[in-house]
Amino acid sequence: MTCPIGGTITYAPGITSTWQALIYTARNTGWVCLEGAMLGKLGSAGFGAFAGTATPAMSTALMNFAFLNVSARALAAGDQVVFEGMLRNGKDFSETGDEAISGLTIFEQPFIQIWKKATGESAQSLNWQDFYYAGLSLVGTRAMYESARTNPNIAAGIYRQGAQLGNALKNGKLFERVTLEGRFGLESIHDNPVWRALWEQAKENKRNTGNENPLTRYENGLRGRIPNRRKNVSYEREAFSYIEQEFRKLAAERGVEVPSGQVHHNNWPIEKYSDNALDPKNLYPTEPRTATENQHRDIHRATSTGPHPYNTPISPKHEKPLYEYNPRPFDDNDND
C-alpha cells in the first residue's frame, strides 16, 4: 500500500504470515491498554490508586521493589528482543543486543532519548512524545514504589496464586465456585452452634433494652414502621456493628474463641441483602490482619467481579445462594 502523504506501507521484515501480524497487533494493543489503565488510575485517584493496604517491613518493601523492577525489565527485554528485534526488524536472535539493552533500561530510555536529542547526538529533534513517555516512565516507577511500600510480599503472593491456579487446572476446577469453607477454611456464625447461640442472645439482649437503638431501628424498618428506611443504607451497617460488639462481649465473658478479624458478609454488598444483614448464615469471622496477610481482603479479591476488592460486587459465580444450608440443630449444651 502507498500512503497518500508519502511512503509505502509493507509488512515488517520479520512478519511473514498473518498469524505473526495478528500476534504483533495483539501485543501492541495490550501495551496501549496497559498504558491507558495506568493513566486512568493516575487521573482518577492519584498515585495512591496503585497502593495496597498492608504495611510491610522495610526489608520486605525493598525486596518487593527489587522484584518488581527486575520483573518489569526482564519482560521488557524479552518483548523488545522478540517483537521489535525479530518480528519488526527481522533480526536473528544474536543480533538483538540493542533491543535487549533498550528493554533492560525501559524506565531510563525516555530520558536517554531526550538527552541524545537535546545534545545533538541523535539526528532526530525533540517532540512532545519524548516528554510523554518520560512522564509515563515516572508513573510506572511510582506505581512500583507504592505497590512495594503498601503490599505484602509480592513474590510470595504471586507464587501462592500460581500454585493455586496450577492445582485448580490439575484438578479441573478452575471455574469452580469459591467457597469460604473450602478455599479459606472459614465457618459461618450459623454453622457453629455455639457462635449461633451467642449471636441470637446478643440480638435478644439489645432488642429488650427498652430504648431505641440501632437494632430496633433496623427491625422497625424491616416491618415498615420507618418510612423510606431504604434511603438510609446506614441502618444495616449500624445494626450489624451494634450486634457484633455485643456478640464479641458475650463470647469473651464465656471464654468462647471467635476469630478477631473482620466479619465477612458472604452475600454482599450488605445493602443488597438488607433483610438478611444480621442473618448469621451470611456472616463469617475472618482471621485478624497481619503485616503480610489480610484474609478479609483476600476473600473479596478471590470473589469480586473487578480489580478493586471492595468497590466491585461479588461475581454471581461465587455468590452463595441464601438459605442453602444444613447446619447442625441447636443443642441444649451449646452454651455450656
pLDDT confidence of residue 328: 43
- What is the chain's percent helix, strand, coil content, to nearest 5? 55, 5, 40
As to burial, measured by CB atoms within 10 angstroms (0-12 exposed, 13-18 middle, 19+ buried), residue 199 is buried
- Whether the Cβ atoms of residue 243 and residue 278 lie closer than 8 Å to each other: yes
> Which residues share a beta bridge with 264?
284
| C-alpha closest to that of 195 among 240, 258, 139 | 258
pLDDT confidence of residue 143: 87
pLDDT confidence of residue 274: 77
pLDDT lower than 50: segments of the chain: 229-231, 325-336
pLDDT confidence of residue 209: 86
Q: What are the cell numbers at 216?
A: 430496633
pLDDT confidence of residue 228: 52
Q: Is 282 in a helix, a strand, or coil?
A: helix
Q: What are the cell numbers at 305?
A: 467481579
Domain extent listing, the chain: 18-170, 180-303
pLDDT confidence of residue 169: 67
Q: Is 83 in a helix, a strand, or coil?
A: helix
Name the pTM for this structure: 0.52
pLDDT confidence of residue 170: 65
Question: What per-residue string of b and e applies to 309-319 under the rule 16 or more CB within 10 Å gives b?
Answer: beeeebeeebb
